[in-house]
Amino acid sequence: MRRQWTLGCWEKPRTVQDVLELVLRSRGLEANTFLRSDLSLLQAYLSFRGMDQAAELMARHIVGGSGILVVGDYDCDGITSAAQLDLFLRDIGHANRRVILPTRAEGYGVPDRAIQEASDCGLLVAVDCGTLDRDAVAAARQKGMDVLIIDHHEVVPDHLAPATVLVNPKHPDCPSSFKEFCSAGLTLLFLTRLRHALNGSHGHVPLDGRYLSLAALGTIADMVPLTEGNRILVAAGLKALNAEAHMPLTHLQRVAGLQGRVVKAGDVAYSMAPRINAAGRMGDPVQAFQLLTAQEPTTAQLLAEQLDRINSERQKGVARILQDVRTRIQTADRRTLVLADPSWNPGLVGIVATKVQQEMLYGPVALLGADTPEARVYKGSVRSVPGYDVHRALSRCRDFLVQWGGHKMAAGVTVEAHQVERFAQRFEEVAREAAADLFVPKGRIDLELDLDLVGEELYAQLSALEPHGMDNPAPVFWARDVVLEGVRTFGRNRAHLSFQIAGHGVPAVFWNGADSWARHLKGHSGPMDAVFRIDWDDYRNRPRLTLIDLFPEGLSVVPSQ
């Protein structure tokens, strides 16, 4: 799928110093505000509806010695949120606590067994779930428990759970100007207010690098925008990770092959977070929670190695499902895809849905699996594309859904087997009402760049824009009339390309570019236009180009909106 490219800034930089200024200008950002990432700036993000009441509620239960039950989701955001709360309660010496994480087989939300197993607790704290869990929360309240919910999923006002206090920036009455914190970030901010509410009764507990690194891990993994408060939090968390502030995560870094490297947001997203998520996807998320809260290095090392093995199995499962999808997919004249198979692991289909969007169909994708081959109910994941609110689309398909929930870009669904075709039809009909332009892949170039400017100085300048992620991607550049030399394939299945840029001596890679090269570019020896990022080559210890697209016919761009 070829992308449509837009150009953010038409002015071409003359010096290395011009590049950062023009990238910021192309994105409509001010250097003196965007480039600041002091932790003290998070103070401006504490005006959440219910935050102080939530802190006071939990403080009362702590001081009173109540049993406290923490329930998190089974993904990295939920697990890191639960781990932060458990660490805090451990740090202040509150032993009367327990943590329960649902399995994917139990489904999203507060599981029934949590209420049964912890009915003696006075407070239930639900993190990364709970907003719409009306039945479970009502059952807890009936047993005399207070319920505190810290969540970031979409709010449906008429379906809110009857919590004692709900903290969710997406609540229509929440005054917070920034709505995009995930639960790991919200939990860290909540702990600053809880510590204040305790007023020194349990000593001064530093919310140090352990908490910051966990909050950053959950934030990066949940793919929320890395802007404003999230950018500040992640920047601090990455510093803590690189300082090895939290021993369990140091062991996770080692099994992920990150030892001795400067860990960046992309390393967390592609190497660390998948190993945490693998536990919930393949079995029991408690294994990941045990790692994140481990106190002994030997225990942490064993658990990290265990998660690494689980992640390898996860990768094999994803490859099998992706191959199944390739043999079944029919995208002619369709904007959406819905496929179900009882042999697919429901914990893996979300990963496959994202890959399908990247390789086969740029549009909303819903893939459904089942807990057993004989199951009459499918569970699955839905992934959307920018600009298309899949949560709203699913609300219009609710007649065919047993359960659904999530946010604009991703959601989970449960569908009875006999309703899958009807759901697929309605899902497509709703997408047909949207603007056709939403379903064309697009890319945004920050500015045109002369390759003579590429070097260590430019790389250092651009590092000020990190951490990169959703809504703050790494800068993308365009160079005209480049000539490739020394092209060779490498990697598994010889899928990647490595080469030099003639006349510049700049090394470059084109990940998964071998197929495109063989089909479209191999016979072209003349100059081409290139779209690329500037990354660091650990092997050569110097900057390199990471190619995104090549255009032998020249690139035609249009202004960004």
The residues spanned by each domain of the chain are: 4-27+446-559, 48-308, 329-439
Q: Which residues are registered as beta bridge partners of 98? A: 69
Q: Which CATH number does the domain 4-27+446-559 belong to among 1.10.375.10, 1.20.1070.10, 3.40.50.620, 2.40.50.460?
A: 2.40.50.460
The gap from C-alpha 260 to its chain's centroid, in whole angstroms, comes to 24
Radius of gyration of the chain (CA): 24
Q: What gap in Å lies between CA 304 and CA 302, rounded to an integer?
A: 6
Nearest Cα neighbor of 554 from 499, 481, 500 is: 481
Q: What crossing angle do the helices spanning 209-221 and 183-198 adopt, rounded to 10°?
A: 150
Can you tell me whether residue 514 is helix, strand or coil? helix
pLDDT for 244: 97
The gap from C-alpha 412 to its chain's centroid, in whole angstroms, comes to 15
pLDDT for 1: 65
Q: What gap in Å lies between CA 403 and CA 352, rounded to an integer?
A: 21
Nearest Cα neighbor of 400 from 428, 432, 436, 361 is: 428
The torsion angle over the Cα atoms of residues 38, 294, 97 and 86, rounded to 10 degrees, is 10
Number of H helices, E strands in the chain: 19, 20
pTM over 0.75: yes
In Å, what is the CA distance from 417 to each residue of 233, 339, 454? 42, 11, 55
Enter the tokens of residue 491: 């990697």
32: CB partners within 8 A, 6+ apart: none
With b for 16 or more beta-carbon neighbours within 10 A and e for fewer, the 17-39 pattern comes to eebbebbbbbbeeeeeebeebee
Q: What crossing angle do the helices spanning 247-255 and 297-328 adopt, rounded to 10°?
A: 50
Task: Tell me, yes or no, if the two domains 4-27+446-559 and 48-308 fold the same way.
Answer: no
Pairing of strands 377-383, 484-490: unpaired
Three-state SS annotation for 48-111: CCCHHHHHHHHHHHHHCCCCEEEEECCCHHHHHHHHHHHHHHHHCCCCCEEEECCCCCCCCCCC
Enter the tokens of residue 25: 């200008």
For the domain made up of 48-308, give the CATH fold: inorganic pyrophosphatase (n-terminal core) (3.90.1640)
pLDDT for 117: 87
Q: What gap in Å lies between CA 492 and CA 510, rounded to an integer?
A: 14
pLDDT for 443: 92
The series of mean pLDDT values per 10 residues for the chain, 561 residues long, is 87 95 94 90 92 98 97 96 98 96 86 89 96 94 96 89 97 94 98 95 91 98 94 97 97 95 95 96 94 98 97 95 92 89 94 92 96 89 94 95 86 94 97 95 95 95 95 96 89 86 89 78 81 90 92 85 66
444 CB burial (10 A radius; 0-12, 13-18, 19+): middle
Q: What crossing angle do the helices spanning 76-91 and 183-198 adopt, rounded to 10°?
A: 20
pLDDT for 137: 95
Can you tell me whether residue 480 is helix, strand or coil? strand
Q: Rounded to 5 degrees, what are φ and ψ at 482?
A: -90, 150
146 membership: H or E segment, kind and range: strand 146-150
Q: Which amino acid is at 75?
A: D
Q: What is the CATH number of domain 329-439?
A: 3.10.310.30
